[in-house]
Amino acid sequence: MNATHITYVGLDIAKDSLLLHLQGRLHTLPHSPAGLRRLVRLLQATDQPLQVVCEATGGYEQPVLRSLHTAAIPVSVVQPARVRQFAKAAGLLAKTDTIDAQLLSRFGQTLQPRPTPPPTAQQQQLRQLCHARTDLVQEIQTVRNQALGYQEPLLRRLVAQRLRLLRRQCQQIEQAIARLLQHQPPLQQQHQRLCQVPGVGSTTAAVLLAELPELGQLNRRQIAALVGVAPYPKDSGCHQGRRHIRAGRPAVRKVLYMAALSASRANPVLRARYQHLRAQGKPAKVALVALMRHLLIHLNSCLKNLAS
């Protein structure tokens, strides 16, 4: 289908509402099952090819994506930072839901982003399990920190009981992840290949497969930019500013950071690279981000070779 004949539709997603910019008109819908059904009907009633453009909103977009993918309506999920940079370039400094919906339509028409492919049922299940495990790990850490201030024996016993329960639940989720991978040979093969890289454990590999289905399908620059570990220059004239990473996928960066930290000790190649960067005077975090990028590119190559 020729992209020039596609109508790009902006959709601003909030926790309780949806604002659709369709063919010059704005439609305000509730972010509810009824609102999603109404959204699909509005889009299906259009007599020309269209593609929805929305921002990644930390999870609020997931029900919308499921509804649109089920209805076979193309949708592109773009990073908010890209949209804000586009707005600044267009001289649009104000920010409201109405402006955002119109801006997303304009963004799509100008840059024509690729549709976001629908995840498989197994990917969705793996993502939910990984999210639940992450929440439990954070809760365990919170309860442990709270327990440090308790002196009352009763409270300490209750905290100990709660921690045992949370750890059992975490183990149950990890077992469910293992069973899911065991019954899905392609995912299991990818998981095993990722775990062969020193510094990458079972949890890291599962999160990468859940949160980064593009792994192994993009080139090195694209995957680094997608995750948010590509350094961007900030130069002007003779001035050379510090390079910074931005946007990307926080959940992936978090596990990559821990993997890079482990690899800086356990992976001979990355350990030597880390020591070389530190010897050049690079701060520890800068050196670790460089290792994150190097590790990600290597993992991307591993899955690409596995597919071929």
Residue-range domain boundaries for the chain: 3-111, 121-183, 210-307
- Which amino acid is residue 80, in one-letter code? P
- Please state, as a whole number, how many other Cβ atoms lie within 10 Å of the Cβ of residue 299: 24
10-residue mean pLDDT profile of the chain (308 residues): values are: 74 91 91 94 90 83 89 89 82 75 92 86 88 93 89 91 95 94 90 89 91 83 77 47 59 87 84 88 86 89 79
Burial class (CB in 10 A: 0-12, 13-18, 19+), 72: exposed
pLDDT value at position 91?
Answer: 80
What torsion, rounded to 10 degrees, do the Cα atoms 42, 22, 10, 35 define? -30
pLDDT value at position 68?
Answer: 94
Q: Which residues pair with 76 in a beta bridge?
A: 53
pTM for this model (two decimals): 0.70
Measured CA to CA, the distance from residue 71 to residue 206 in angstroms comes to: 29
Query: CA nearest 204: which of 266, 257, 139?
Result: 257
Measured CA to CA, the distance from residue 212 to residue 259 in angstroms comes to: 15
CATH 3.40.50.620 fits 3-111, yes or no: no
Residue 165 φ/ψ, nearest 5 degrees: -65, -45
